[in-house]
Amino acid sequence: MSFLPPPRARAALLLAVLLVPTILLARAQVGTPVDVENHALKSRGTPEALVEERRCASFGRDDQVIAAFQALAVGSGVVSPAESEALDALAARARAIPGIAEVRKLTDHTAGARVFAFRLAAPAGDYSDIVDQLAAFVRREAPPSVRVSLSGQPAGEVVIAREVQAEERRIAPLIAAGLLLLLVLHYRHAGLVLAIVVPALVASAWTGGVFALLGRELDPISVMLRPVLLTVGVASGVHWIEAYLDELGSGGAPEGAASRAIDGLRVPAMLSALTTVAGFLCLAPNPIPAVVDFGVFAALGVALTYWIASFATPALLILCARRVSPRMLARRGLTAGSIGRRAADWIARRSAAVRVGAVALALFGLLAWTGIEVDNDPLRVLPAGHAFRRETAAVTSEAGGADHFDLFVPAASRAADPVQLALLAGAVLELDGVAGPAGPPLYASNGDWLARFRLAPSGSAARERLFDAIELRARALGAGEVRAAGSAVQVARDSGRLVRGSITGLGAGMAVLFALFWIGFRSARYAWLALVPNVLPCLVVYGGLALLGRPLSVATAMIGSVLLGLIVDDTIHLLHRFRERRAAGHAELECIEHVFEHSGRAVAITSVALGVGFSLTMFGRLSTTFEFGALAAVTIAVAAAADLVLLPAILVRPSLAAPGGAEAARAA
């Protein structure tokens, strides 16, 4: 006599148990703080980070906010003596604000403006409160007859961090609503939709809760974590549901259909999860903590999605999707069979042309990829009309630049001699990109020197070249130990390092995926076959960026490693079913028809779900979310074409392209 409760009671109990940690972890992430100073976007242990530590030890931090006070008739007005006196008094009073270490008037301004530099005293780099107090003070105390504009790296980082928080609140619900609408329109069955959506939402909540409990903060990269996990979870859930509907169409009770569907997909689903986890973990060696966190937590989220779906999906199907319209099942099977046979025949007749076209496209993308550039302008994260970008432009027009950098000269350096330092500073001022001095040189009690310069507006690539040229000139003067230092230096070099590291991670990801394919399929041939339709989209998309003259940014560089782990899922499901059918002795064309009939719908739906999910991020305000979503949607579209056209063309023998070849293969 069995004491086990009936299947529906067991399913309800399982979901109830799952609900408790989900609620707790969802509550834990409410109010997740924002990394206002963007600590996670600054590398650790790199040469720039080490130089910055030594510079701070000798001179303290040198985070500056630049304020420009312009006469309201900008460009033609003149700051009156009374206004100038009031602004000098404002600067004097600002010295009393806690956290303001120094206030200095910049001398190279026009008659229509006064410009001041406010140096912040924030030993740990936690300057958001100081920036807020300073901004409120200068806007309140400035004469009403002048226009106030604030800029500088600390102010920019505070603004960007708060926009990130708003973006996270805006994009994740939008993606969830879009995916839900798509599923409802397709399936028109609440139970099936719940069985897809619930595991994705639960895994996202668990991952976000762990993220918050470990003390992580939101940054421009982690803001993409929840949209990615929601989209991936929904796409993987579609495969489970399509398999369930196949089993229902074959007859039998819902409990048995759910169990058989899960058992039948367990191997390809596990391999898909492993490859996706591997794709994300290839971001872990990156020196930028935010990128490492994104890769690790995204991998955790994918693993949780697979684990939760493996037992929550059958429970949801038993409780909510026992009754599916027989008409829907019959129409679904008839349509899939008819379309699958026609598609397989069409591809078989054109397999040689498809192969040649794919090789040509890959070579074209590879050649174009060699011309791609790397550049990242932190301000470009904000919308073009954002108030901070306008204020930065105003500060730049008056002061020549809103950012600054330092030359750190160790005590033992030849350039520590004042005469040699003056020669080096003169050589630096001649370089394009240097707007002028940012104040007199500083001398520390240990003998170190610091020369300060203002930067003209430019992207990270131009600044990297500038800092390299400065250090090259120092070596030419016999002072090879002199280093460019400061937040601007670290941000520029970290941006380039992040992008180049992501490209390296993409190559490592391909190698890891090949190894996983080989282990999963137990065949080197199938491993190569699985890799081909997933490498092609990366070549095409990155080659397209190069042809369009678009440089790689933080967002677009990460897309390769991230999506390489996502788009392989459909390939795995198609190859797994083909391999099983082929091992049973069926002809190649019949195997492809069977694959299209039983997996083609799932691949098409998941591709649409992934494309819709990521394309909705294009409604974000920040360029990181917009560019990530746009490039992801294009990559997924190319990957879907590669899976549904190129992969079958590779699997089928070229002889089937001959007249009557397909019919003969089917008869065999």
Q: What is the pLDDT of residues 204-257, one digit of tens each?
A: 999 999 999 998 888 777 877 887 888 888 888 888 888 888 888 777 777 787
Q: What sign does the CA torsion over 179, 184, 190, 196 have?
A: negative
Q: How many residues in the chain?
A: 668
Q: What sign does the CA torsion over 583, 585, 586, 589 have?
A: positive
Give tens-digit pLDDT for 466-516. Answer: 999 999 988 888 888 899 988 788 888 887 777 677 677 777 778 888 888
Predicted pLDDT at 135: 92
Predicted pLDDT at 491: 80
Q: Quickly tell me which residue has 């009754």 as its tokens.
A: 323
Give tens-digit pLDDT for 311-356. Answer: 888 888 888 877 777 776 666 655 555 666 777 788 888 888 888 8
Mean pLDDT value of segment 451-465: 85
Specify the DSSP class assigned to residue 522: T
Pairing of strands 403-409, 434-437: unpaired
Give tens-digit pLDDT for 136-148. Answer: 999 999 998 899 9
At residue 174 the predicted structure's pLDDT band, cuts being 50, 70 and 90, is confident
Contact indicator for 246, 598 with CB cutoff of 8 Å: yes
Mention every residue, 6+ apart, whose C-beta is less than 8 A from residue 286: 292, 295, 498, 501, 502, 505
Residue that wins the pLDDT comparison between 112 and 337: 112
At residue 659 the predicted structure's pLDDT band, cuts being 50, 70 and 90, is very low
CATH code for the domain defined by 60-157: 3.30.70.1430
Predicted pLDDT at 304: 93
Domain positions in the chain: 60-157, 393-487
Predicted pLDDT at 658: 46
| Of the candidates 664, 38, 17, 608, the residue with the CA atom closest to the CA atom of residue 293 | 38
Contact indicator for 217, 34 with CB cutoff of 8 Å: yes
Residue 4, φ and ψ in degrees, nearest 5:
-70, 140
At residue 203 the predicted structure's pLDDT band, cuts being 50, 70 and 90, is very high
Predicted pLDDT at 138: 92
| Of the candidates 533, 544, 537, the residue with the CA atom closest to the CA atom of residue 573 | 533
**Segment (H or E) for 555:** helix 554-583
Mean pLDDT value of segment 166-170: 79
Q: Compute CA 475 distance to the chain's CA centroid, rounded to the nearest angstrom.
A: 37
Q: What percent of the chain has pLDDT over 90?
A: 9
**Segment (H or E) for 349:** helix 326-349
Mean pLDDT value of segment 551-558: 70
Encoded tokens for 164: 């990130």
Tell which CATH architecture fits domain 393-487: 2-Layer Sandwich (3.30)
Residue that wins the pLDDT comparison between 303 and 71: 303
Dist CA 474 CA 480 (whole Å): 6
Residue 36, φ and ψ in degrees, nearest 5:
-60, -35
Predicted pLDDT at 23: 92
Encoded tokens for 364: 């074209």
Residue that wins the pLDDT comparison between 307 and 75: 307
* pLDDT at 4 exceeding the cut of 70: no
Cα–Cα distance list, 159 to 130, 163, 314, 667 (Å): 13, 6, 46, 67
Specify the DSSP class assigned to residue 124: T
Predicted pLDDT at 74: 61
Predicted pLDDT at 240: 84
Give tens-digit pLDDT for 5-40. Answer: 677 788 888 888 888 999 999 888 887 887 777 777
Encoded tokens for 201: 């939402």
Mean pLDDT value of segment 595-623: 80
Q: Write the DSSP assignment of 446-472 as a string of letters.
A: TS-EEEEEEEPS--HHHHHHHHHHHHH
Q: Quickly tell me which residue has 């394919």 as its tokens.
A: 517
Q: Compute CA 378 distance to the chain's CA centroid, rounded to the nearest angstrom.
A: 15
**Cβ neighbours around 654 below 10 Å, total:** 12
Contact indicator for 451, 428 with CB cutoff of 8 Å: yes
* pLDDT at 668 exceeding the cut of 50: no
Encoded tokens for 633: 């949607």
* pLDDT at 657 exceeding the cut of 60: no
Give tens-digit pLDDT for 38-55. Answer: 777 778 888 888 888 888
Predicted pLDDT at 90: 92
- As a whole number of Å, the end-to-end CA separation of the chain is 51
* pLDDT at 586 exceeding the cut of 90: no
Encoded tokens for 42: 């600054």
* pLDDT at 623 exceeding the cut of 90: no
168 Rama class: left (phi>0) / alpha (psi -120 to 50) / beta? alpha
Same fold yes or no, 60-157 and 393-487: yes
Predicted pLDDT at 554: 66
